[in-house]
Chain A
Amino acid sequence: MRIALAELEFDIKGSGNKSTFQPLYLKAEDRNKVSAFIQFLDKNLKKKKSDINIEILDDLFPSYKVIRALLVSSLRSYSYLSLTYKDIFQEEESEDRKATDITSFIKENTSKNLKISNMQPSEFREKVFDIINDDKGFVTIEERAKVIEEIEKEIGIPDGLLVNFLYLDIDSEKVLIKTEDIDSTQLIYYHNYDVIETTLSFSVDLQMRLKSLPGYLAKKLVYLSKKNYVFSDIVLEDEEYRISIQPPLEMFRDQGGWGRNMANVASYVLRVLLREEIPFQLNAIVEPRKRKALFKLSSDDLPLLPTFRRQEEDLVFRPAIDSKVEEQFLKSWRNYHGWKAIPEPEAIIVGKKMYVPDFLLERGDKTIFLEIVGYYTTKYIQKKKNQMNELAKTGIPIIYLVDENIISNFVDLRGIKIFGYSGTNTPNQDLARLLDKEYSDFEKRLPKFKETLKQICKSLAEGPSLITLQELNDKLQTYSENETNRFMESEEAKEILENHKIVLLPSFGLVSSTIIEEINNYMTKIKKISLSSLKDQFPNYKEALISICQYLGCSVKWKSIDQVEISNP
């Protein structure tokens, strides 16, 4: 939780490059004071915000800001809530009040109390002001009590409560409630964590060193960085991982504008490190109120902090798409010519560096990485080019889709597969063609296709029978219609068809030649026939009749949507 800067207690020691940022952490010896704070809140439960005088606690700590910060941290367990009329009218249900017949049921439900209890405060106010504006639009002090009494009777609320009811929903009327128990130690932990998170939200540069780096953390770091438009680098140096988080290069906007984004990423990493108890060191250049200082945090010398053992939503890592073009790409490539795009795949380790491409394309046993390059800042382009060159040297298959607006920056790269894209339109067909050409396993699967086709043809010949192209695709288990066509055009496929006397009708599928002969014999005896009559004649081959007739050279005329005439050639 973020604390307002004006309420964050800190000091900046030293000057110039030697300035250090030192926030105030609470310690174990502050437990009693924090307990007093919690007791104060507990004593004021159900009191209105405007009636709670928090200022009397200001002297509990050397700085009143600590109280303000604790108020923020305590929002995990306390909150201010608007009372509703239902809260006020709560009544025990008595035996007598249970309706025994329809009349008493109706009577109960039209009681005025129930009406008010269903009202919103704004509706209640409108009712009151409507009554007042029937007269002169206000009441004097002299007539006030009498008017209020009359209104209370008219609306049906207990005496003396109208004024309380009037603004039940406004902020200062909200009452303090407790949502869960918290002890002083826990509150100290949360306070200190919130202080760190707030401090990091003023960072302009952040570096961390870790002894170990779980794979899921690396992936999430890259994902969160992209989502927050900051740059993260993960480098293995001297058996330690160095993570750096930096904002985009901007010279005309306050650098502090990205601190929140950086804090989002760094806070997540910190929570994982605390949970997994991984040793680390963090150095951040922070700039609160335009004065730079170094903030340090080390696992050797941590303030009291929570361990975040309980399940958080970010413990379950679900790769998510963080840009429109990636979203569109994933949609198109869920199954594109048999290729499946898997977002945020496992990281690639090259030397000391870790990369997490955007997608892994998978088909059969073939896999290729794909990265979408769309950021525009100069720093990113150069970084990307360096990375691309490094990866190219490893021989790891990877294809890049680069935004057309910046593709000119990449023309000098050699031996790297790059396609341009515009907006959210990726060159899917070109990409598929390249993949088929360079990453195809067609030859490897050809024997299986042949075997399957033989079996299909055997069964069709014995039938005699026919199958559609879709059924053929499914049985062959090809990746796409294109692949089916590629196979069926091969010499091997043609030979199998010929051997089994099966005919391929390109607009239908496979048909046994026996069926074709049968229909041919019938057609030679007639000049013309309607499709519906032909279907009556050959009910088992209804779907294939037009294709068969066309194959036989008949002319097919569509007189209307349901009137087709077939004539002998």
Chain B
Amino acid sequence: MTIEVNIRFKVAFDLIIEANQKLEDSNLLKYLKVNPKKTNEYRASPHNYQKILQILQSRDYILKSSILENPKLSENYQKRMKLKLKLREYQEKALAEFLENEGRGIIILPTAAGKTIIGLKAIERLQQKTVIVVPTKNLLYQWVEHLTKYTSLSRDLIGQLGDQVRDIKEITVTTYDSARLNINELRKKFNFIIFDEAHHAGAKESLKVLEGLPSAFRLGLTATPDRSDKAEEILFDLIGKPIKVTKVSDLAENGYIAKYQHQTIKVPLDQEEKELYNKYMGVYRGYLRSRNIQIRTPEDYERYLIFRVNQDFEAKEALNAHRKARTLVFSSNSKLRKVEELLLKHKNDQVIIFSEFNDMVYDISRRHLIPAITHETKSSERQAILRRFNTGDYSKIVTGRVLDEGWDCGNVNVGIIVSGTGQARQFIQRLGRILRPKEGEAALYELVTPETLEAGTARRRKESDVI
């Protein structure tokens, strides 16, 4: 008896596979779970749809599937979705590797190397209905702008999910949050997904987007695939293998991005702060010694301190002391003084100052009367500040993490990192802020408090092979 298989979605997350008899193909069963409540019904994670389809098609099954019934771009979109730019050599190389890999992969290129353009070209080549997933509203609007600027698509042909808009079209840009909330709609339509700043897709909630879509073609774009939770392996599995074609130094050498000067400036604590720092670290180290604990990784920190806080009163004290020491080091008075020195040195330049701590951001803003952008800054104000900074009306801004990614900063040529975590990603993103093709060199200053826990942080963030 010929096996008939029907694949479809229902209201729940899973892919439903119904057969007229029991399936016994072990290759297939790898991806399926048997529904205990119904005979000959199987469930699968949607992201395995293509693999399941391939196996079924290679057998003599009668296959009926209502998944992605109409995945190609319509003629109107195909006509308009033609890139007006020519790709650079390294961009062509990255795209070629992506297409050779059956339209799957994570392209790793430094910020400002033109990853967005590669994404647009991929849409043109694949001609599939596409959803572009981004982490922030800023990036959402940037993609929309790039689509209208570099192709013949008009704004009304570009869908948007996010920032209070719900308009799905053949090419749609969405945030990770909106994608997760609208997964049932997206899975019906889009056979090509682009994950911008793809390292974000490794977050637990965002993984649901990767797992919940049956799309055949998946492109990740990032400068920094590494995650502190090491979830990048999952990303490679769900999106595709990493594609690295060049380094920052090569791009700078060839004039694609600005040549930059990176300078680490040691800024020791002043006397009073040093005493306080030593006191806090004394409490922290004393606790570790008393419990015979060694902290080597962020996981150790969580396991031995954060999770112990409830049972162990001293763990809580140690944690508080460590946090205070960290705040002191990352936001010291001497750093504030150094910031002023650098501002004076570069008084005629476009300067961005980064700090991990919002308190520090507002401190610097109040101290030097510089516009500040943090996660608390409303979208309209943020856009206004960035616009004025891009045009040169404002020459200095200070920001927390929120500007780390994807923002097209035009003429910035000086970056000052007052404080940041050890993650390579952050560092690279911040470096990327100043790496836009322009005359002269760019400068990135990193203020580090020597002989403190920040020294290790600074060392860790430089260990990235993309640089």
Contact indicator per residue, chain A 472-493, by CB within 8 Å of chain B (1) or not (0): 0000000000000000000000
- Interface membership of B347, Cβ < 8 A: yes
A137 touching B394 by the CB < 8 A rule? yes
Q: Which residues of A contact B358 (CB under 8 A)?
A: 172
Given contacts A137-B395, A252-B15, A405-B8, 5 further A-B pairs with CB under 8 A are: A129-B394, A133-B393, A139-B368, A140-B344, A163-B366
Interface set of A (CB-CB < 8 Å, partner B) = 50, 55, 58, 63-65, 122, 125-126, 128-129, 132-133, 136-141, 144, 147-148, 163, 166-167, 170-172, 229, 248-253, 257, 375-379, 382, 405
Cβ contacts A to B, 17 pairs, < 8 Å:
A128-B369, A129-B394, A132-B370, A136-B395, A138-B347, A140-B340, A140-B344, A141-B367, A144-B368, A147-B369, A166-B365, A172-B359, A252-B43, A252-B46, A257-B13, A376-B11, A376-B12
Closest to B368 in A: A138
Query: Do A144 and B367 form a contact, CB below 8 Å, given A122-B381, A252-B33?
Result: yes
The minimal Cβ–Cβ distance linking B364 to chain A, given in whole angstroms, is 9
A251 touching B394 by the CB < 8 A rule? no
Query: Do A379 and B369 form a contact, CB below 8 Å, given A126-B384, A253-B208?
Result: no
Q: Which residues of A contact B309 (CB under 8 A)?
A: 64
Contact of B343 among A125, A138, A144, A375 (CB under 8 A): A138
A250 touching B14 by the CB < 8 A rule? yes
Task: Report the separation of the CA atoms of residues A382 and B38 in the bound assembly, to the nearest whole angstrom.
Answer: 9
Tally chain B residues at the interface, Cβ within 8 Å: 51
The minimal Cβ–Cβ distance linking B249 to chain A, given in whole angstroms, is 31
Task: Report the separation of the CA atoms of residues A469 and B393 in the bound assembly, to the nearest whole angstrom.
Answer: 74
- Interface membership of B378, Cβ < 8 A: yes
Q: Which residues of A contact B396 (CB under 8 A)?
A: 137-138
- Interface centre among A163, A167, A375, by most chain B C-beta atoms within 10 angstroms, is A167
Task: Report the separation of the CA atoms of residues A133 and B388 in the bound assembly, to the nearest whole angstrom.
Answer: 11
Query: Do A251 and B35 form a contact, CB below 8 Å, given A129-B394, A172-B358, A229-B11?
Result: yes
The minimal Cβ–Cβ distance linking B42 to chain A, given in whole angstroms, is 9
Task: Report the separation of the CA atoms of residues A171 and B358 in the bound assembly, to the nearest whole angstrom.
Answer: 11
B13 touching A140 by the CB < 8 A rule? no
Contact of B37 among A163, A171, A253, A382 (CB under 8 A): A382
Give residues 364-398 of B contacting A (CB, 8 Å).
365-372, 374, 376, 378, 380-381, 384, 393-396
Contact of B370 among A138, A163, A167, A170 (CB under 8 A): A138
Q: Which residues of B contact A405 (CB under 8 A)?
A: 8
Q: Which residues of B contact A253 (CB under 8 A)?
A: 12-14, 208, 212
Q: Which residues of B contact A170 (CB under 8 A)?
A: 362, 374, 376
Decide if the interface of chain B is mainly helix, strand, loop or mixed: mixed
A139 touching B369 by the CB < 8 A rule? yes
Task: Report the separation of the CA atoms of residues A166 and B12 in the bound assembly, to the nearest whole angstrom.
Answer: 48
Task: Report the separation of the CA atoms of residues A141 and B339 in the bound assembly, to the nearest whole angstrom.
Answer: 11
**Closest 5 CB pairs between A and B?**
A376-B10, A137-B395, A253-B13, A138-B368, A252-B45
- Interface membership of B44, Cβ < 8 A: yes
Task: Report the separation of the CA atoms of residues A148 and B371 in the bound assembly, to the nearest whole angstrom.
Answer: 15
Q: Which residues of B contact A250 (CB under 8 A)?
A: 12-14, 43
Query: Do A64 and B316 form a contact, CB below 8 Å, given A141-B367, A170-B376?
Result: yes
- Interface membership of B211, Cβ < 8 A: yes
Closest to B313 in A: A59
Contact of B395 among A133, A172, A382 (CB under 8 A): A133
Q: Which residues of B contact A248 (CB under 8 A)?
A: 11-12
Task: Report the separation of the CA atoms of residues A133 and B45 in the bound assembly, to the nearest whole angstrom.
Answer: 55
Closest to A133 in B: B394
Contact indicator per residue, chain B 194-225, by CB within 8 Å of chain A (1) or not (0): 00000000000000100110000000000000
Interface set of B (CB-CB < 8 Å, partner A) = 8-16, 33, 35, 37-38, 41, 43-46, 208, 211-212, 309-310, 316, 320, 340, 343-344, 347-348, 358-359, 362, 365-372, 374, 376, 378, 380-381, 384, 393-396
Query: Do A377 and B10 form a contact, CB below 8 Å, given A64-B316, A137-B396, A382-B37?
Result: yes
Closest to B45 in A: A252
Task: Report the separation of the CA atoms of residues A29 and B462 in the bound assembly, to the nearest whole angstrom.
Answer: 55
The minimal Cβ–Cβ distance linking A4 to chain B, given in whole angstroms, is 14
The minimal Cβ–Cβ distance linking A310 to chain B, given in whole angstroms, is 33
- Interface centre among A63, A128, A376, A405, by most chain B C-beta atoms within 10 angstroms, is A376
A138 touching B369 by the CB < 8 A rule? yes
Task: Report the separation of the CA atoms of residues A378 and B36 in the bound assembly, to the nearest whole angstrom.
Answer: 11
Closest to A9 in B: B310
Q: Which residues of B contact A128 (CB under 8 A)?
A: 369
Closest to B336 in A: A141
Task: Report the separation of the CA atoms of residues A55 and B317 in the bound assembly, to the nearest whole angstrom.
Answer: 12
Task: Report the separation of the CA atoms of residues A251 and B359 in the bound assembly, to the nearest whole angstrom.
Answer: 44
Task: Report the separation of the CA atoms of residues A327 and B393 in the bound assembly, to the nearest whole angstrom.
Answer: 53
Task: Report the separation of the CA atoms of residues A125 and B370 in the bound assembly, to the nearest whole angstrom.
Answer: 10
Task: Report the separation of the CA atoms of residues A284 and B209 in the bound assembly, to the nearest whole angstrom.
Answer: 29
Q: Which residues of B contact A166 (CB under 8 A)?
A: 365-366
Q: Which residues of A contact B212 (CB under 8 A)?
A: 253
Q: Which residues of A contact B371 (CB under 8 A)?
A: 125, 129
Contact of B35 among A136, A172, A375, A378 (CB under 8 A): A378
Task: Report the separation of the CA atoms of residues A46 and B316 in the bound assembly, to the nearest whole angstrom.
Answer: 29
The minimal Cβ–Cβ distance linking A120 to chain B, given in whole angstroms, is 9
Closest to B32 in A: A251
Q: Which residues of B contact A136 (CB under 8 A)?
A: 347-348, 395
A378 touching B41 by the CB < 8 A rule? yes
The minimal Cβ–Cβ distance linking B408 to chain A, given in whole angstroms, is 20
Q: Which residues of B contact A63 (CB under 8 A)?
A: 310
Q: Which residues of A contact B340 (CB under 8 A)?
A: 140-141
The minimal Cβ–Cβ distance linking A9 to chain B, given in whole angstroms, is 8
Q: Which residues of B contact A172 (CB under 8 A)?
A: 358-359, 362, 376
B369 touching A122 by the CB < 8 A rule? no
B37 touching A251 by the CB < 8 A rule? no
The minimal Cβ–Cβ distance linking A53 to chain B, given in whole angstroms, is 12
The minimal Cβ–Cβ distance linking B357 to chain A, given in whole angstroms, is 11
The minimal Cβ–Cβ distance linking B20 to chain A, given in whole angstroms, is 12
Task: Report the separation of the CA atoms of residues A253 and B378 in the bound assembly, to the nearest whole angstrom.
Answer: 34
Task: Report the separation of the CA atoms of residues A260 and B127 in the bound assembly, to the nearest whole angstrom.
Answer: 39
- Interface centre among A63, A65, A136, A229, by most chain B C-beta atoms within 10 angstroms, is A136
Task: Report the separation of the CA atoms of residues A163 and B367 in the bound assembly, to the nearest whole angstrom.
Answer: 9
Query: Do A375 and B378 form a contact, CB below 8 Å, given A138-B368, A251-B33?
Result: no
Closest to B396 in A: A137
B343 touching A171 by the CB < 8 A rule? no
The minimal Cβ–Cβ distance linking A567 to chain B, given in whole angstroms, is 54
Query: Do A379 and B37 form a contact, CB below 8 Å, given A137-B395, A253-B12?
Result: yes
The minimal Cβ–Cβ distance linking A59 to chain B, given in whole angstroms, is 9
Q: Which residues of B contact A137 (CB under 8 A)?
A: 347, 370, 394-396
Query: Do A252 and B370 form a contact, CB below 8 Å, given A141-B340, A378-B38?
Result: no
Task: Report the separation of the CA atoms of residues A442 and B247 in the bound assembly, to the nearest whole angstrom.
Answer: 85
The minimal Cβ–Cβ distance linking B421 to chain A, given in whole angstroms, is 20
Q: Which residues of B contact A125 (CB under 8 A)?
A: 371, 381
Task: Report the separation of the CA atoms of residues A163 and B38 in the bound assembly, to the nearest whole angstrom.
Answer: 67
Task: Report the separation of the CA atoms of residues A319 and B462 in the bound assembly, to the nearest whole angstrom.
Answer: 61
A249 touching B12 by the CB < 8 A rule? yes
The minimal Cβ–Cβ distance linking A463 to chain B, given in whole angstroms, is 60
The minimal Cβ–Cβ distance linking B307 to chain A, given in whole angstroms, is 10
Closest to B358 in A: A172
A171 touching B376 by the CB < 8 A rule? yes
Task: Report the separation of the CA atoms of residues A125 and B385 in the bound assembly, to the nearest whole angstrom.
Answer: 10
A377 touching B378 by the CB < 8 A rule? no
The minimal Cβ–Cβ distance linking A493 to chain B, given in whole angstroms, is 51
Query: Do A129 and B11 form a contact, CB below 8 Å, given A167-B362, A378-B35?
Result: no
Task: Report the separation of the CA atoms of residues A212 and B347 in the bound assembly, to the nearest whole angstrom.
Answer: 77
